[in-house]
């Protein structure tokens, strides 16, 4: 689409998304030499490759009059990731503190940075989608937000399995009480009410009126 046809708010949102994408690519490239775990290295490489490809596809859509196609993100270990169940509960979590230098950067730090980057990008792209008037750009932003969410969940699964990201829980009765306090809507009664509202005036007038009955 010609750039002159874009709204001012769309141009500003696109600018923010493209800048965020570049920052994310640069951030992942900075992390790469410090990765030690091979599983995390495979995840980072796969995500980085996708981010670079997606960035070029976005430019193709924006600069080549709508030509281009965005692809959904697929994890490097798709089959196992889909079947993996998260581990709930705290299991002696390690204390956390800022590193004194880059030499202390470890796999947990890198995975946490990757997760935060993907979450922030997903939020930014969905916000941009809500401000887009052009339907193709809107869909592109929605697809981008979904891909970032998939990247975030893949990183979370890795961290959860390694014990880097533990999920605290409430007491079982508290969780049950909170979840069960919500009840379905009364759809049947609402349907009956709507039926009464839709009843024709003629049928209402044909009903006998107690006050009009003759006395015998």
Q: What percent of the chain has pLDDT over 70?
A: 77
pLDDT number for residue 144: 95
Give the per-residue pLDDT at 104: 92
Q: Look at the pTM and tell me if it is higher than 0.85.
A: no
- Residue 165's φ and ψ, nearest 5 degrees, are -125, 95
- How high is the mean pLDDT of the chain? 85
Question: How large is the average pLDDT for residues 11-34?
Answer: 97
Q: Is the pLDDT of residue 32 over 90?
A: yes
Is residue 26 classed exposed, middle or buried when 0-12, 13-18 and 19+ CB atoms within 10 A define those classes?
exposed
CATH H-level superfamily of 3-76+105-162? Ferritin, core subunit, four-helix bundle (1.20.1260.10)
User: Roughly what angle, to the nearest 10 degrees, separates helices 107-130 and 8-31?
Assistant: 170
What is the distance between the alpha carbons of residues 50 and 157, in angstroms, rounded to a whole number?
19
Residue 158 near residue 39 (C-beta atoms within 8 A): yes
- Domain definitions of the chain by residue range: 3-76+105-162
């Amino acid at each position: 689409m010609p750039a002159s046809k874009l709204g001012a708010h769309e141009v500003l949102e696109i600018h923010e998304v493209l800048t965020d994408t570049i920052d994310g690519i640069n951030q992942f490239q900075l992390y790469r030499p410090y990765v030690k775990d091979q599983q995390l290295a495979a995840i980072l490489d796969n995500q980085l490759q996708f981010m670079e490809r997606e960035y070029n596809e976005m430019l193709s859509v924006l600069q080549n009059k709508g030509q281009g196609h965005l692809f959904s993100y697929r994890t490097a270990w798709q089959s196992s990731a889909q079947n993996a169940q998260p581990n709930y509960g705290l299991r002696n979590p390690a204390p956390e503190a800022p590193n004194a230098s880059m030499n202390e950067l470890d796999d947990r730090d890198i995975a946490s940075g990757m997760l935060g980057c993907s979450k922030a990008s997903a939020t930014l792209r969905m916000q941009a989608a809500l401000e887009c008037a052009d339907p193709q750009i809107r869909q592109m932003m929605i697809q981008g937000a979904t891909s970032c969410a998939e990247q975030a969940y893949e990183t979370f699964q890795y961290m959860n399995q390694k014990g880097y990201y533990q999920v605290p829980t409430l007491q079982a009765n508290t969780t049950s009480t909170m979840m069960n306090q919500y009840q379905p809507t009364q759809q049947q009664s609402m349907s009956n009410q709507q039926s009464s509202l839709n009843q024709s005036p003629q049928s209402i007038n044909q009903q006998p009126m107690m006050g009009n009955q003759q006395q015998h």
